[in-house]
Amino acid sequence: MKTPFQLNKDNYHSSEANNYYMSVSQFKSAIECEASVIAELEGNYERSSSLALTVGSYTHSAFESDQVFDEFVEANRGIIFNTRGGKYADFKQADSMIKAIKNDRFAMFALEGDKEVIFTGELFGVLWKIKVDAINHGRKTFTDLKTTQSLSKRYWSDKYSKYVSFVEAFDYVLQMAIYREIIYQNTGAYYAPYIVAVTKETPPNKAILHFDQSRFEFELEYVKEYLPGIIAAKLGKQEPKRCEVCEYCRATKQLNNTFEIEFLLK
């Protein structure tokens, strides 16, 4: 049996933690391309930094604490501020999103609780790690802050075989299902999940979303179906599947055949 890997805020995203534990983000990335995830875990590939990810972290840090937000801004001044000392447009937009949530009593009520709380647990024979944006033990709720282009934008989903909302398109229902189970293992109670969503529109739109519990069974079955193959690749027991379209696959692609032009659009 493995010696427990003790997680904290400093090592949560480390390669050691990612090798030891499965996470929702790792699972989602592996569904898109196992090969890129395995290469990253083995230290052979580093994902390009994303401005969207930095803006998202900037927004989240504003609701963790003033100290955390100030530290994040100081550590990322070169990305946030231009040469004239003003903020770049993406961060100005993030400020308006932060203000929209902070000026809404119900949204701030939904985000009350302990911030960035780490839990670990076991699902389908695999160790998982989660980090919860806000958890309220008194109300038995947990809440995740999400930014999105629009509350009503539709996305085609191969997973669901239909058009879906951003919540389903980006597997936030799956995330809530996993978090709910891991929190149950640590508390002995099923907590109700919520999403505080804020849009990148001007001015921002916002909503607080809850979930019908019937949604979670499908998500857990989905994870149960695809997890064994991902773990087998992670353990080196089988060759990881390549998507042939992501950054990693394009960089490492080796041609060995031709194909008819009809397949260019597939």
Q: What per-residue confidence (pLDDT) applies to 2? A: 53
For all residues of the chain together, what is the average pLDDT? Answer: 95
User: How much is the average pLDDT of 50-60?
Assistant: 90
Looking at the domain assignment, is residue 236 inside a domain? yes
Does residue 123 form part of some domain? yes
Domain membership of residue 181 as a residue range: 15-252
Residue 213 falls inside a structural domain: yes
What pLDDT, on the 0 to 100 scale, is given for residue 3? 55
Q: Which of 117, 91, 114 is nearest to 99 (CA)?
A: 91
Does the residue 91 lie in any domain?
yes
pLDDT at 1: 41
- 167 burial type by CB count under 10 A (0-12 exposed, 13-18 middle, 19+ buried): buried
Quote the radius of gyration of the chain (alpha carbons, Å): 20
Please check the confidence at residue 112 and state whether its pLDDT lies above 50. yes
In a domain, 5, yes or no: no
Residue 89 lies in a domain: yes
Vertex 132 angle, CA 119 and 229, to 5°? 65
pLDDT-derived band at 213 (thresholds 50, 70, 90) equals: very high
**How confident is the model over 102-123, as a mean pLDDT?**
97
CATH number for the domain harbouring residue 82: 3.90.320.10
pLDDT tens for residues 154-195?
Answer: 999 999 999 999 999 999 999 999 999 999 999 999 999 999
What is the pTM (predicted TM-score) of this model?
0.93
Sequence-ordered list of residues with C-beta below 8 angstroms from that of 67, at least 6 positions apart, any chain: none
Predicted pLDDT at 44: 94
**Does 259 reside within a domain?**
no
Q: How many distinct structural domains can be found in the chain?
A: 1
pLDDT per residue as tens digits for the range 130-159:
999 999 999 999 999 999 999 999 999 999
pLDDT band for position 76 (cuts 50, 70, 90): very high
Q: What percent of the chain has pLDDT over 90?
A: 91
Confidence of residue 61 (pLDDT cuts 50, 70, 90): very high
* pLDDT value of residue 49: 76
Q: What is the mean pLDDT of residues 217-239?
A: 97
Instruction: Give the pLDDT band of residue 91 (cuts 50, 70, 90).
Output: very high
pLDDT value, residue 47: 84
51 inside domain? yes
- DSSP character at residue 154: -
At 263, the pLDDT band (50, 70, 90 cuts) reads confident
Q: Which two tokens stand for residue 194?
A: 């919520």
Which residues, 6 or more positions from 95, have their beta carbon under 8 angstroms from its beta carbon?
87
What is the per-residue burial (b if ≥16 Cβ within 10 Å, else e) of 19-48? ebbbbbebbebbbebbbbbbbbbeeebeee
